Amino acid sequence: MSKKKKLAPPSYGEVCFSLRYVIPKRKLTVSVVEAKNLMAMDKSGTSDPYVKVSLIAFQKTIAKKKTRVIKETLNPFFNKTLVFDIPFDQINEVTMLITVMEWNKLRNKPIGEVVLSHDVTGSGREHWKDMFAHPQKPVVMWHQLSAPDLSKS
């Protein structure tokens, strides 16, 4: 009698970034540092990743920015700062979607994502709350990527 081995869920990798919100300047700063152990998306066993940051309010994308593409790696270093102008009275309406994307000549595909706001659970909520607990200081955190929502791509 053989026991069936449970398959581990796929790992999409991790991403590290900092958040900072400066109330007087109305600036939300996202500094994308690096990612590691990304899922391979190319036949060569690597990926051509970049990070897309989208701000969503009232179920509409209100702003989005991205890093440059880093070719042929599963452990990219981005070191890119993205700045968004968000009034303080609207910041609690915002959900941030951090998506690690695979660049492709024909169609870019999501590798994994992290959702942040005051009304999500897990590390996304913790990081969002820490940003407000330490005003005007960058708060750095690693996040495990989850399966991308393919309906958004």
Best CA proximity match to 128, nearest among 27, 28, 35: 28
Q: Has residue 9 been placed in a domain? A: no
Q: What is the DSSP string of 56-100?
A: EETTEEEEEEE-----S-SS-EEEEEEEEE--GGGGGGEEEEEEE
Q: Has residue 8 been placed in a domain? A: no
Quote the pLDDT of residue 10.
76
Contact yes or no for 44/72 (Cβ under 8 A)? yes
Q: Has residue 139 been placed in a domain? A: yes
Quote the pLDDT of residue 64.
97
Q: Has residue 90 been placed in a domain? A: yes
Quote the pLDDT of residue 149.
80
Query: 34: domain range?
Result: 14-152
Quote the pLDDT of residue 110.
96
Mean pLDDT, consecutive 10-residue segments, the chain of 153 residues? 63 96 94 97 93 95 97 97 95 95 93 95 95 93 91 56
Residue 152 DSSP one-character state:
G
Residue 146 DSSP one-character state:
B
Quote the pLDDT of residue 8.
63
